[in-house]
Copies of this chain bind each other. A is one copy, B any other.
Amino acid sequence: MRDFYGVQLETPFMLGTAQYPSPAILAKAFTHSKASVATVSLRREASSDKAGQDFWRLIQDLNVHVLPNTAGCHTVKEAVTTAHMAREVFGTPWIKLEVIGEEDTLQPDVFGLVEAAKILTEEGFQVFPYTTEDLVVADKLVNAGCRVLMPWGAPIGSGMGLNNVFGLRALRAHFPEIPLVVDAGLGLPSQAAQAMELGMDAILLNTAVSKAGDPAMMADAFASAIRAGQLAAKADPMVPRDMASPSTPVLGKAFLD
């Protein structure tokens, strides 16, 4: 199994911490997910409001790797500054680098992304770039020092699944040594299994679990599906056969003479 900046993950499941009905449900979802990584963020906090402090204690109790993001950053400068603040607060060189280029789809600005990735790598960060399936962008990110790539499946929060299976397959084929994480856009476990069957190394998601009717059960479902896809990729699946064309004399023919 490919490693993430030297870290072997116990499970290939990275789970977001946003939008849960309650901290208790968040904690329960993580337990059921067996996720090995939790994504977190930073926000302005009034000194009176200690929500952030409580949240941080809750995350520490999850006993998982913490992956801070730069969510909401639209410029290289914002992203770099946020990364530094996150490194200090969360005590990790890992950073999920998001440089948002478009408000609706929250899709990456691949230009800002590559620039920020270069800066942060030089400053000792281990960058997890949230990117598209673009092979050329991926190459620039690798050249910038990224040793993990996180292509999207679909827009964040859309739950559409894998919008460009060809693109993900091409990315896998062209970067055999780079760990690939499908990040964002998944809505159903079958989609996560499919991504793993394509040879992805891990899945990062949030909304599909936190917005499910029963987040803990859905976390369990995704964990199970991700494991399934990972095993399937290893187990050497059968080759599909198209049986549309007949091998035997065609039906009805006799009746036409």
Contacts and interface: CB of A to CB of B under 8 A. Distances in A.
Within the oligomer, what is the number of copies of this chain?
Answer: 4
A193 interface: yes
Given A225-B228, A234-B217, A235-B217, A178 B212 contact: no
A17 interface: no
Given A224-B231, A238-B208, A256 B166 contact: no
B105 A252 contact: no
Given A101-B136, A143-B255, A174 B250 contact: yes
Interface residues of A, number: 92
B166 A154 contact: yes
Contact of A101 (B139, B228, B237, B246): B139
A64 to B, nearest CB: 21
B136 A109 contact: yes
Which residue, A111, A142, A224, has most C-beta atoms of chain B within 10 A? A224
B160 A163 contact: no
Contacts of A157: 241, 243
Contact of A137 (B110, B222, B250): B110
A218 B230 CA distance: 10
Contacts of A193: 188-190, 193, 225, 228
A155 interface: yes
Given A164-B167, A190-B190, 19 more contacts: A104-B248, A107-B135, A134-B134, A138-B252, A142-B251, A142-B252, A160-B166, A164-B164, A164-B166, A169-B244, A174-B246, A176-B250, A190-B191, A190-B225, A212-B235, A213-B235, A213-B237, A218-B232, A222-B228
Interface of A: 101-105, 107-111, 114, 132, 134-140, 142-143, 147, 154-155, 157-161, 163-167, 169-170, 172-178, 187-191, 193-194, 197, 207-208, 211-215, 217-218, 220-225, 227-229, 231-232, 234-248, 250-253, 255-256
